Homo-oligomer: A and B are copies of this chain.
């Protein structure tokens, strides 16, 4: 395992201030981040951008440097949505070899204790932060995100979410005494005295199943929550987005080895296409924790079949926007246009259904009928994306053929308000870039808007009135789930009703977003991502339930 360079205790000591502030932030839920989201040379240094690019390019058409199970076989599965073949070869191991290696790592990782595990995790995050530019290219060329978004969401903001999970797990475990001398007074004679210890027993092996669109952001909470609570983690990336998680696993293994711990505490499970390695791993008795982001079908399959495990899924949803009235019509349109365009709507948080009362909405620019609102929204999107250079910076590239097909078919679902068009990328001529589609459908067509259309497809739905819209929010979210909801109204009673509807539907609500905060974005330490209270996800990032299911306290007691 190499020579010990730094003990876990030293890592813990080194990052103690960060941990303390992170714990304060999850409790207080105020703004805080240790990982600057700006890719500016003033923040990350003059050389960082170029070094990161070079580090990324050095991975291409090579075997990725990673030891552990599967070294002798390689899989190559990635092609950039910008048109570049990545050609990176990853080790490939079967479920047996992965489970055997992770099982062997469990006792030493468990016995290291919560402070050592936390120190190791904090150092992993610190080193990932230093590699944010390399990660940005890796995320861009696997997911299709534009570079700046790939930097932010794939780098610092993902690291924030990982740190948030570390803080939750550390705070929860250390909230309760590790040892106590217990003294029970007796009516006669001295007290009964016992010494008690409370050890953290991890649930078992953990499996993180990554997605193709946010390989790091959606994986880090489960990865780090499982690690701090003592569970070795097998990271199974989506075959189209392996590199970001391979870098992550490599960093984790490097830190573990330096700390004298077993690197097999974190393993990469790259798979051949159609191998269904995730399903195989997920039903093994040793695998007791699963964090999954991806399709509703496989998420539901995991919930039904991986009954031996604590299963956290984030699947899909039909995110609603209720538009009742506004005193900032232009700001609202601009905000919505950006939300629908950002990363071509390929976010689980992108709004899908925009409910507008048939009688129109009162605005600071007069009453707007559903047709007028739809036309104005289409125009706002077109304005936002008029300049191709700016457009590709917002849209990124279409991540898969399925999404492209869905977009191209959107016009058949109703009356086209905004037809998608291709945008030429100035740097990548083979990139698949499209503007979003907006479609009008009747409120009766919940067979259309009641199911998810992942990607840049949204619907303007005329309702009888705002109450009707809220009822549709309740029914569609209750049936198909949602990661986000939003409302625009100048009427406090409507906002109250929307809040109650959101609470009953179990979905987080954003109200009157007309500026630079967007419903698709959630801030670590303050905003919950999902709730676990509707069909879109069984878990929220990151709340007490997300962490508590990963460990038990096992006690021993002895008379003194």
- Which partner residue on chain B sits nearest A194 by CB separation? B517
Any chain B CB within 8 A of the CB of A74?
Answer: no
Any chain B CB within 8 A of the CB of A446?
Answer: no
Evaluate contact between A503 and B554: CB separation under 8 angstroms: yes
User: Which A residues form the contact surface with B (CB < 8 A)?
Assistant: 26-31, 38, 107, 110, 172, 175-177, 180-187, 191-192, 194, 196, 198-199, 201, 203, 303-304, 307, 495, 499, 502-504, 506-517, 523, 526-528, 531-533, 540, 543-545, 547-549, 552-559
Evaluate contact between B201 and A555: CB separation under 8 angstroms: no
Evaluate contact between A172 and B544: CB separation under 8 angstroms: yes
Residues on the B chain within 8 Å of A558, using CB: 495, 510-512
- Which partner residue on chain B sits nearest A171 by CB separation? B175
> Can you offer 16 A-B residue contacts whose CB atoms are under 8 A?
A30-B182, A31-B182, A175-B175, A182-B526, A506-B554, A508-B555, A512-B558, A528-B553, A528-B554, A531-B554, A533-B554, A543-B548, A544-B544, A544-B548, A545-B549, A548-B549
Residues on the B chain within 8 Å of A548, using CB: 543-545, 547-549
Task: Tell me the complex Cα distance, A252–B110, Å.
Answer: 43
New contact pairs (11) apart from A30-B183, A31-B184, A31-B185, CB-CB < 8 Å: A29-B198, A107-B504, A186-B516, A196-B526, A201-B506, A201-B533, A506-B554, A507-B554, A517-B559, A527-B557, A545-B549
Task: Tell me the complex Cα distance, A184–B180, Å.
Answer: 42
Evaluate contact between B29 and A503: CB separation under 8 angstroms: no
Evaluate contact between B29 and A180: CB separation under 8 angstroms: yes
Evaluate contact between A30 and B559: CB separation under 8 angstroms: no
Residues on the B chain within 8 Å of A552, using CB: 506, 531-533, 540, 543, 545
Query: Given B38, B495, B510, B526, which contacts A187 in the complex, CB threshold below 8 Å?
Result: B38
Evaluate contact between B553 and A543: CB separation under 8 angstroms: yes
Task: Tell me the complex Cα distance, A495–B556, Å.
Answer: 10
Evaluate contact between B549 and A180: CB separation under 8 angstroms: no
Residues on the B chain within 8 Å of A201, using CB: 503, 506, 531, 533
Residues on the B chain within 8 Å of A502, using CB: 554, 556
Evaluate contact between A512 and B559: CB separation under 8 angstroms: yes
Chain B nearest CB from A308 CB (Å) reads 10
Residues on the B chain within 8 Å of A507, using CB: 554
Interface core residue of A176, A303, A510, A553 (most chain B CB under 10 Å): A553
Evaluate contact between B509 and A531: CB separation under 8 angstroms: no
Evaluate contact between B555 and A180: CB separation under 8 angstroms: no
- Which partner residue on chain B sits nearest A26 by CB separation? B176
- Nearest 8 A/B pairs, CB to CB: A545-B548, A548-B548, A511-B558, A533-B552, A544-B548, A509-B556, A29-B180, A531-B552
Residues on the B chain within 8 Å of A198, using CB: 29, 528
Evaluate contact between B526 and A553: CB separation under 8 angstroms: no
Query: Given B495, B514, B544, B554, which contacts A559 in the complex, CB threshold below 8 Å?
Result: B514
Task: Tell me the complex Cα distance, A110–B503, Å.
Answer: 10
Task: Tell me the complex Cα distance, A559–B516, Å.
Answer: 10
Evaluate contact between B499 and A556: CB separation under 8 angstroms: yes
Task: Tell me the complex Cα distance, A110–B504, Å.
Answer: 10
Residues on the B chain within 8 Å of A547, using CB: 544, 548
Given A199-B503, A201-B531, are A557 and B29 neighbors across the interface (CB < 8 Å)?
no
Given A510-B557, A543-B552, are A27 and B533 neighbors across the interface (CB < 8 Å)?
no
Task: Tell me the complex Cα distance, A199–B499, Å.
Answer: 10
Residues on the B chain within 8 Å of A512, using CB: 558-559
Residues on the B chain within 8 Å of A543, using CB: 548, 552-553
Residues on the B chain within 8 Å of A304, using CB: 307
Residues on the B chain within 8 Å of A26, using CB: 176
